[in-house]
Amino acid sequence: RQRPGLNHHTLELYENIWLGIAGLMAVFLFVAVLASLFSGTFPTIRDTGGHNMGAIQNGRVDPARLNETPFAKPGVYENPDGTVEAWVVARAFNFTPTRLEVPAGRPITMHVTSADVLHGFHVEGTNINTEVLPGHVATYTVTFRHPGETKTICNEYCGAGHHSMINKVVVLP
Ligand code: CUA
């Protein structure tokens, strides 16, 4: 026969432990939701520890194998040597990523390719103005002198949504 007193205390202890775990999970979820809400508003520069160029060779790439290259995760990256690289994929009718956040006063090397048809890539306010062909990687280096905003624009007619291929570039101080 069990002693009722001990049983009661044991149950209370388990209850408290489970309440504690539930509480921790609630806090964790809350922080995770907050983090996901804010992650889009902070600079997107990622440190990858260097890129494996994968299926890119001599400026050529198989458009069907972009997932084997840094184009698999388009965005802005800081390399271990301090250089900054942006990887941009053009497709009908957008650029990925939809927004580039880059530091001012540092050379940014931009790599652009197309996943489908011929597009253009003009970075307003810079001398970057190139055709973007599937199968080719266009690489240009630019230094944004001042913080502010500019755009990338597709300036090769590519279809019905051509005029909407405009993306934002945010130059951070
Ligand atoms: Cu893409 Cu015009």
Same domain as 20, residue 90: no
CB 87 within 8 A of CB 71: yes
Same domain as 113, residue 36: no
Same domain as 65, residue 144: yes
Same domain as 112, residue 85: yes
Reported confidence tier of residue 137, pLDDT bands at 50, 70, 90? very high
Q: In ligand 1, which atom is closest to the CA atom of 157?
A: 2
Residue 10 CA, ligand 1 centroid: distance in Å: 68
Q: 118: domain CATH number? A: 2.60.40.420
Q: In ligand 1, which atom is closest to the CA atom of 156?
A: 2
Same domain as 26, residue 52: no
- Give me the domain span that covers residue 148: 46-172
Query: What integer pLDDT is reported at residue 5 of this predicted model?
Result: 58
Reported confidence tier of residue 11, pLDDT bands at 50, 70, 90? confident
Same domain as 151, residue 74: yes
Is 60's pLDDT higher than 50? yes
Q: In ligand 1, which atom is closest to the CA atom of 132?
A: 1
Q: In ligand 1, which atom is closest to the CA atom of 165?
A: 1
- Tally the domains of the chain: 2
Same domain as 96, residue 25: no
Same domain as 85, residue 11: no
Residue 119 CA, ligand 1 centroid: distance in Å: 4
When pLDDT is averaged across residues 94-100 and rounded to a whole number, the result is 95
Same domain as 90, residue 50: yes
Is 40's pLDDT higher than 90? no
pTM, full prediction: 0.70
Instruction: Name the residue with higher pLDDT: 53 or 166.
Output: 166
> What are the C-alpha distances in Å from 141 to residues 84, 92, 110, 128, 158?
10, 24, 6, 8, 25
- Quickly count: other Cβ atoms within 10 Å of residue 162's Cβ: 15
When pLDDT is averaged across residues 41-64 and rounded to a whole number, the result is 66
Residue 27 CA, ligand 1 centroid: distance in Å: 45
Q: Tell me: the pLDDT tens digits for 103-134? A: 999 999 999 999 999 999 999 999 899 999 99
Same domain as 129, residue 107: yes
For atom 1 of ligand 1, the residue with the nearest CA is 119
Is 150's pLDDT higher than 60? yes
Give the binding-site residues of ligand 1, using a 6 Å CB cut-off: 93, 119-120, 154, 156-158, 162, 165
Query: Cα–Cα distance between 61 and 121 in angstroms, integer?
Result: 17
Same domain as 88, residue 7: no
